[in-house]
Structure 1
Amino acid sequence: MHPRIRLELAKRWSEPHREHHDTDHLAEVIRAVDSLASSGLDFDVDAVHAAAWFHDAVYDVHRADNVERSAALAQHWLGAGEGDRVAEIVLATRDHVAPPGDLEAAVLCDADLSILGAAPDRYDRYARAIRTENAHVPDAEYRRLRSRVLTRYQARPHLFVTSPARAWWESRARANTTRELIQLGRPVAV
């Protein structure tokens, strides 16, 4: 990726309204991608790195189309070919479900969700940052919406697609999301 594009993306990731979707999150996602590459998974690391840079490049908590707008930005800035492929990978982060057989999308989804499997203190900082980004949402509504997201993840047979991600993050992600659901006052199925 051209250094000018990386610089423009870094400016976006540094916007003041970002508490979680910031440069720290970007760095964590890239480290997770690199860890998955080091595990022996055979995927296009450059394409996933580019998609990581673009996946939350557009982030406005008042809009529901951030992923689509981030994908469109990748297509516009990277052009046909590379931009189209990066956009496809980015679009998988909309619901964190990779299309069957798309290992690059699976890796980005797993890397993006790796925060769920972080140490409890890091996960708690993440959860507080998500709440801060959504400070405009009244508490009861936030608890309902956040619980719905976490319950959707909990209902999956696996939170992570790749076997290394499952081995590294799955059990702690389940424990963290269960703990947050309890803190939100929601019943948790066991």
Structure 2
Amino acid sequence: MKKLNLRNLHRDFGYFYVGLIISFAFSGILMNHRNDWHPEKYTLETKEIQVALPDEKNFNDDYAQKITTELKITDKVKRHNIRKGTFKIQFENTEVEIDIETGKGEIISFIKTPIINQAMFLHKNTSNWWIYFSDIFGLSLIFIAISGAMMVKHGKHTFKRRGWKLALAGIVFPILFLILS
């Protein structure tokens, strides 16, 4: 029987997961900026509207549903709120924004952006099989990191001489970020 070669195992795990690593990194970058823009959606249509608004105290679920019916929007209401003088209703593929002073607003319709939408789904998927696969992936990344650190055995660039400092910095940086944010 052939002896288990750490270098070959590290290489093969790396090759196996390279596509997933790139996908997760790409979707993670997109997820970091999801509040700044709609990375999974792009605007298909914007339509100007004018509506009669009730008193601000009546901006509730019933009113959001009433506006939805009046504007002939078939999506289910996800959430609504008032922010900076604008009444916003969010749906799966549509947003409605109405100025609470004038009643003028717009309906913004979105469609899913190919590839980006599917990549971001990786980070949001909660099915059991994907969770187990992601756990295995996480453990494999730990293995890849540790086995990679152990591969260089001689010279001035070993983990023992130099690598541990960089690894420590890699651990300290996110901890500092969590403490300072």
Q: What TM-score do the two structures reach when normalised by structure 2?
A: 0.29
Give the greater-gyration-radius structure (CA): 2
Q: What TM-score do the two structures reach when normalised by structure 1?
A: 0.28
Q: Which has the higher strand share?
A: 2
Q: Which has the higher helix share?
A: 1
